[in-house]
Chain A
Amino acid sequence: MAKHIHAIYSDDDILMQAVKQVRAERYHIEEVYTPFPVHGLDKVMGLAPTRIAICSFLYGLVGLSVAITMMNFIMIEDWPQDIGGKPSFSYIENMPAFVPIMFELTVFFAAHLMVITFYMRSKLWPFKKAENPDVRTTDDHFLMAIDAGHHDVDKLSQFLYDTGALEISLIENDDDH
């Protein structure tokens, strides 16, 4: 049985302030649910920066390699035809004609694989069961879930009340997701 405290806030500025205070008191924030991106929330929560841009760069390189290998094989090695006088003797000689495809495939791979990476890392897919502790967090409320495991619940509740929480509830569940 894991115990959590769910504290609900109605203002993102108060939420940010509360996150700072909660972290200063060394309580562990499990998750924060917000209806929209709150600027700087990741920073005050101390989340590690995302590496998705690095992934995207590498995917782009893959796309570029695919484009070059594909066209070098098809246009230069496999069947080097004379098409309208274009020099198919070597890849470099005919390269300007390949650049639009090289560019597009780089972008295609970088974009799509990055999006798929994002879905996989955030565990998002169709028919996925929504992990929403309170429906109001998709509209206009902010919810902070705090691990209450080894703390005095009353003291923690009082502390959260002082940070501006509107509702504080103790949740006991079996960690089914």
Chain B
Amino acid sequence: MYTLPSKLKLFAIIFMVVGALGMLAGFLSVPSTTAEVKEMMAAHDDGHGGGHDASYSDHNGDHTAKDGHGIDQNAISSPEAHDSKNTHGEDAHGDEEAHLTHVLHQLQNRPWSALYVASFFFFMIALGTLAFYAIQHAAQAGWSPVLFRVMEGITAYLPWASVIIIILLLLSVFHVNHIFHWMDGELLNPESPKYDKLIAGKSSWLNPTWFIIRAVIYLLGFNLYRHFSRKWTLNQDDAEDNRWFKKNFKLAAGFLVFFIYTESMMSWDWIMSFDPHWFSTLFGWYVFAGMMVCAITVIALVTIVLKSQGYLEFVNDSHIHDLAKFMFGFSIFWTYLWFSQFMLIWYANIPEEVTYFVTRIEDYNLPFFGMVAMNFIFPVLLLMNSDYKRINWFVVMTGIVILLGHYIDVFNMVMPATVGTSWFIGLPEIGAMLFFFGLFVLVVFTALTKAPLLAKRNPFIKESKHFHY
């Protein structure tokens, strides 16, 4: 049995408190009027050498340049596009008030988006682990049963993450925040100046009621699988026959079918709908690939931590090697999907699709390309060597870079649509990450104390104990 070290508990709680303070500071520093925005921008200019302000003027410069070509790309994808569209046509940056309102909305979205990105990031680690766990059951893998309890510990975060996500989505639906642009009812009203024909056309899918119903279906499905799978593996420990194992096998196969549909729809709903004018067919797979990389990395990291504390007697470096191979393989798979999505859109350059990448390359250049280096080049070069995959500190180092890289990936998917050019990785973003990291560690390691760390009567446990590659 694993006992939660009191130091770890304290460590997690400190992270949560510091993170919560950071988030609180983020929410408190949000301006409520355009006058405050003006003041902030002036102060910001002094503080940071005008880097941010310069980007605003670049931004405006771009607008005029593009107006000249007849394509107003930024206006199409940014959420406030429709307020500002009129001003773009007449005088691109003459109307300072409209610009300030635009920035105000972005700044008001920022702490909410930071919260959303961090909570989704940890949610997807738990969900990806659950999917990986189901794959191991359905594939009857012989190497992984010694890691099942570690995976179950990580998926224990899923119910927590689900509740947090559903609360955040409900807050958006009830207009407490405005990170989902399409939830603005005015957009569907043909009489309104904000009327958006494209979003109105999608309203049979993107409407708040159906959106919440879908979210509940996804989360209920994920959590039910997690609940019963965990229960049945524990039953198998005390069983006389393999009945629970067989039930778990069937459940895993069924869950994987459910998962691949709902995961795809979930990524349209919770990520792609931030850019409601944009669509991509492989988006669900792309989110899935990122999810799997993070999940496997976290499984490897938790395993290494527990092993180093002497808890996982039967885990050897071959198990770590296998996990590292999965990290390596799924990093490449993620890159393959990232590039396939990017290259097809870049190549065809259809204005309605390409705005997505135009905003990201212009306004998020470093995070956008930096994440490719972190999520592809770094793991490929470090984990290519077979010997390195067995060295714990190599796996840990690569794992940390991969996790940071995928945080930036989620950041890049959400932020350009909600905060646009007003992005920064500062207090609200880091605070939210620290808070959820603390919560994740606390929940996961508490769950690990609830059951022995080795499944007893799994039919493959003996093979797994002697697994050697």
A binding-site residues for B, Cβ under 8 Å: 53, 57, 85, 96-97, 99
A82 to B384, CA, bound (A): 39
Chain A residues whose C-beta falls within 8 Å of the C-beta of B347 in the assembled complex: 96-97
A57 with B349: CB separation less than 8 A: no
Given the complex, which residues of A lie within 8 Å of B343, measured CB to CB?
96-97, 99
Residues from chain A with a CB closer than 8 A to the CB of B55 are none
Q: Which residues of B contact A53 (CB under 8 A)?
A: 386
> Quick one: given A53-B386, A57-B384, are A85 and B339 in contact (CB under 8 Å)?
no
Find out whether the CB atom of A96 lies under 8 angstroms from the CB atom of B384. Answer: no
Is the CB–CB distance between A96 and B346 below 8 Å?
yes
Q: What is the bound-complex CA distance between A53 and B339, given in angstroms?
A: 26
Chain B contact residues: over half helix, strand or loop, or mixed?
Answer: helix
In the complex, chain A residues whose CB is within 8 Å of the CB of B346: 96
Q: Which residues of B contact A97 (CB under 8 A)?
A: 343, 347
CB-CB under 8 A from B342, the residues of chain A are: 96
Considering the chains assembled together, what is the distance between the CA atoms of A96 and B345 in angstroms?
A: 10
- Binary contact readout B334-349 vs A (1 if CB under 8 angstroms, 0 otherwise): 0000010011001101
Closest to B344 in A: A96
Instruction: Return 12 A-B CB contacts under 8 Å, by A number.
Output: A53-B386, A57-B384, A85-B349, A96-B339, A96-B342, A96-B343, A96-B346, A96-B347, A97-B343, A97-B347, A99-B339, A99-B343
Tell me the complex Cα distance, A127–B114, Å. 68
Chain B residues with a Cβ under 8 A of chain A: 339, 342-343, 346-347, 349, 384, 386
Tell me the complex Cα distance, A35–B231, Å.
Answer: 48
Residues of B within 8 A of A99 (CB): 339, 343
A85 to B342, CA, bound (A): 17
Q: How many A-B residue pairs have CB under 8 A?
A: 12
Determine how close the nearest CB of chain A comes to the CB of B157; give it in whole angstroms. Answer: 37
Residue of A57, A85, A96, A99 most packed against chain B (CB within 10 A): A96
Minimum distance in angstroms from B153 CB to a CB of chain A:
34
How many angstroms between the C-alpha atoms of A174 and B24 in the bound complex?
87
How far is A166 from B342 in the complex, measured between Cα atoms in Å?
Answer: 64
Cα–Cα, bound, A57→B383 (Å)? 13
Separation of A85 and B339 alpha carbons in the complex (Å): 20
Residue of A nearest to B336 (CB): A103
Q: How far is the CB of A40 from chain B (nearest CB, A)?
A: 10
Docked pose: A97 CA to B342 CA in angstroms = 11
Given the complex, which residues of A lie within 8 Å of B384, measured CB to CB? 57
Closest residue of chain A to B349 (Cβ to Cβ) is A85
Nearest CB to that of A97 among chain B residues?
Answer: B347
3 closest residue pairs by CB, A with B: A96-B343, A96-B346, A97-B347
Chain B residues within an 8 Å CB radius of A96:
339, 342-343, 346-347
Q: From B386, which residue of chain A is reached at the shortest CB distance?
A: A53
Closest CB of chain A to B339's CB: distance in Å? Answer: 7
- Output the nearest chain A residue to B387 by Cβ-Cβ distance: A49
Residue of A whose beta carbon sits closest to that of B468: A40
Tell me the nearest residue of chain B to A53, going by C-beta.
B386
**Residues on B with beta carbons closer than 8 Å to the beta carbon of A85:** 349
Docked pose: A85 CA to B349 CA in angstroms: 10
CA distance A129 to B447 in the complex (A): 64
- Once the chains are docked, how many angstroms separate the CA of A57 from the CA of B339? 22
Instruction: Tell me the bound Cα distance from A132 to B308 in angstroms.
Output: 50
Residues of B within 8 A of A57 (CB): 384
Question: How many whole Å from B384's CB to the nearest CB in chain A?
Answer: 7
Q: Which residues of A contact B349 (CB under 8 A)?
A: 85
Cα–Cα distance between A45 and B343 once the two chains are bound (Å): 50
Given contact pairs A53-B386, A96-B343, A96-B347, a sample of 9 additional A-B residue pairs in the complex whose CB atoms are under 8 Å apart: A57-B384, A85-B349, A96-B339, A96-B342, A96-B346, A97-B343, A97-B347, A99-B339, A99-B343
- Nearest CB in chain A: distance from B301 CB, A: 26
Q: How far is the CA of A142 from the CA of B85 in the complex (A)?
A: 80
A47 to B32, CA, bound (A): 73
A110 to chain B, nearest CB (A): 12
Alpha-carbon gap, A96 to B348, bound state (A): 12
A57 to chain B, nearest CB (A): 7
Q: Which residue of B lies closest to A54 (CB)?
A: B385
Nearest Cβ on chain A to B390's Cβ, whole angstroms: 14
Docked complex Cα distance between A53 and B346 (Å): 35
**CB-CB nearest in chain B for A100:** B343
Q: How far is the CB of B338 from chain A (nearest CB, A)?
A: 11
Smallest distance from the beta carbon of B20 to chain A beta carbons, Å? 42
Could you tell me the distance in whole angstroms from the C-beta of B282 to the nearest C-beta in chain A? 16
Q: In the bound complex, how far is the Cα of B384 from the Cα of A10, in angstroms?
A: 38
Bound-state CA distance A78–B342 (Å) is: 27
Smallest beta-carbon distance A36→chain B, Å? 20
Nearest-Cβ distance from residue B361 to partner chain A, whole angstroms: 11
Bound-state CA distance A97–B262 (Å) is 33
* Shortest beta-carbon distance from B105 to chain A in Å: 33
In the complex the two chains form, what is the Cα distance from A53 to B389 in whole Å? 15
Tell me the complex Cα distance, A96–B347, Å: 8
- In the assembled complex, the CB of B152 is this many whole angstroms from the nearest CB of chain A, namely 32
* Least distance between A43 CB and chain B CB atoms (Å): 11
Complex-state Cα separation, A57 to B384, whole angstroms: 9
Bound-complex Cα distance A158 to B358 (A): 79
- B381: nearest chain-A partner, CB-CB: A57
Query: In whole Å, how far is B368's beta carbon from the nearest beta carbon of chain A?
Result: 13
- A165, chain B: closest CB distance, angstroms: 28
